[in-house]
Amino acid sequence: MTCIIRIFDIESDIEKHLPDPRIGLSYFSSVTMQSQFDCRSSAHIRRSSFSILGGSIYALGFSRTAKYLAIGNDEGQLEFRKAGDGWDTMRIYDANSQIRAIQWDPTNENRLYMGMENGNIYSIEINPDGENDIVCYDQVPGYVHAIAVCENGSGGSTLVIAYGQNIGFIRDPFASNDYLGSLTLFPVEPYPNTQDISSSPFVRAVQFLDADTIVVTYLGVVGVKVLKLSSCEKVQDLTPPTQFEFYGSAALSPSGRRLAVTNHGLGIDWYSFCHDRFMSTSHYSTQGRNAESMITGLTFIDEDTVVVGHCAGSLVFVTFGMSHNPFILPIGTTPIQTLAYAKFENDDDPIVLAILQGKNVPTTVVIVDIQLTIVHLNAQYGSTPLLGMPGALGNKSPVILNASPGLSSFNIKLTVAVVVLAVAVYIAQLRNYNYMEVVPRIRLGCLPWKSDCEVQVHNNMKTVYATTTVTARRPSRTEMITTTVTETSTFRGYTTTHRHRFSFAYRMPLRNYYTINSKRD
């Protein structure tokens, strides 16, 4: 059967000096590609477009029911958006440090946890009506690499934080909204003192196997370990395969039976927690056009299949048991390092949202609608080539749909809506532009606010007391313009350079405008 994939190339026409620009769609140029490839129904094409803030995006996540989307960048700005049609911005937070990890609370649709480069941990509970957001924060003494959160079985949550060379967890974090709680640390294993980052114990990913067990994937050659929270000890080392180069990102299947890890230079390594061992490697080329290889994200889209970003600007769909030639969907020319997966309520088509970003090029958001059926193929089914995508995507390499004998493969219908996003240019001098809604911007706490913190250490139990919460309220009609001051300070024995942003107010003759009132508890 013939499959028609329709691609919409969207160009934006923006006035560069708008403080809150709106994307203008100048035209839709539709390109049709045909191939011999089984598709059973017409595709839904998303035409939403939205602007994003500056900075590289390495943290991205949908809430539990895919109602909200959180986007965090390396300039410390966190955007909350309503997921789906329109992708409207709800509010923007400024945290003054790189955002390294985002996790939504499984027990509360509106609560998110966030880990920062400077060690700050935030709990942000948003109010959909725009009033009285509750923001609590505290700090761990190290760079936050990853966080994970799980329902603990008693109506609360357990938060795991990987920071520096440590891993710790907190039961019911920020339960009273004024302190993080008791941080229980796992014993630190001895590692050789080396400058080689691949041999250093830096955590790349943490996932919960169950409420009492986590699997930890380390960057480089350290491997994968399974830890028990109740006994605070390591219970298993998963031995990497013989062909092993460098581990990057990891994802856990929905049932928790499989772990997929990017093995740079080779492809995807698969681990089974039913068999407690390494299973196989799915091979594909991880190098880009200039022979570079980058750490890219991946996520499961069903129990057997992951979608992986690629430094050549493609999405790679890999199924467990597939040895070679996965399905590759060329998207653009800049790397895809960050992506997220979601399935909306009352919508049969899940989506993958990927971020294309590179040096000196516009950031591009790609929304891919997927209709995926796993088909058991016999030995006579071979590789099915697809034509290279023409037009604005500019990639002439073929994409391959393949199945090895006796294994499963895809019956995929993919529709790609490529949206080129313009990064807003904000200026301090405000002019009389007529634009509609203004998004609330919220400044989060930084270190000078926490000078009265106390730390108590008992064996491996550490209690950190926070003193600040921030509440977003309905505002006066004022614009907040920020400036940055850099200073160096010593905190808990760590010397750190901090960027502090101070806000200035300008009167604006606008309605439905927001400002922020912060309070100290």
Rounded mean pLDDT, 326-339:
83
For the chain, what are the domain ranges? 1-51+285-424, 53-140+440-521
Q: What is the CA radius of gyration of the chain?
A: 23
Task: Indicate the length of the chain as a whole number.
Answer: 521
487-506 confidence digits (pLDDT tens): 444 444 444 444 444 333 33
Confidence of residue 519 (pLDDT cuts 50, 70, 90): very low
Report which secondary-structure segment, H or E, holds 73: strand 68-73
| Residues 261-268: contacts with CB under 8 Å, at least 24 apart | 261/217, 261/224, 262/286, 262/295, 262/296, 262/298, 262/308, 264/293, 264/295, 265/293, 267/318, 267/326, 268/298, 268/306, 268/308, 268/318
* Residue type (1 letter), 367: I
Out of 4-18, 75-89, 348-362, 489-503, give the one with best mean pLDDT. 75-89
Tell me what pLDDT residue 311 has.
83
Asked whether 350 and 301 are in contact (CB, 8 A), the reply is yes
Q: Which residue has the higher pLDDT, 116 or 22?
A: 116
Q: Which residue, chain included where needed, has tokens 């440590």?
A: 166
Tell me what pLDDT residue 292 has.
63
DSSP 157: E
Asked whether 457 and 106 are in contact (CB, 8 A), the reply is no
Of 477, 476, 362, give the one whose Cα is nearest residue 425.
362
Rounded mean pLDDT, 451-462:
39
Kindly report the average pLDDT of the chain as a whole number: 65
Global pTM reads 0.67
SS3 letters across 450-470: HCCCCEEEECCEEEEECCEEE
Dihedral of CA 505/510/513/517: which sign? positive
Rounded mean pLDDT, 187-211:
77
Tell me what pLDDT residue 293 has.
66
Rounded mean pLDDT, 83-106:
87
Rounded mean pLDDT, 400-407:
30
Asked whether 313 and 274 are in contact (CB, 8 A), the reply is no
Q: Which residue has the higher pLDDT, 305 or 153?
A: 305
Rounded mean pLDDT, 75-89:
84
Q: Strand 213-218 vs strand 203-210: parallel, antiparallel, or unpaired?
A: antiparallel
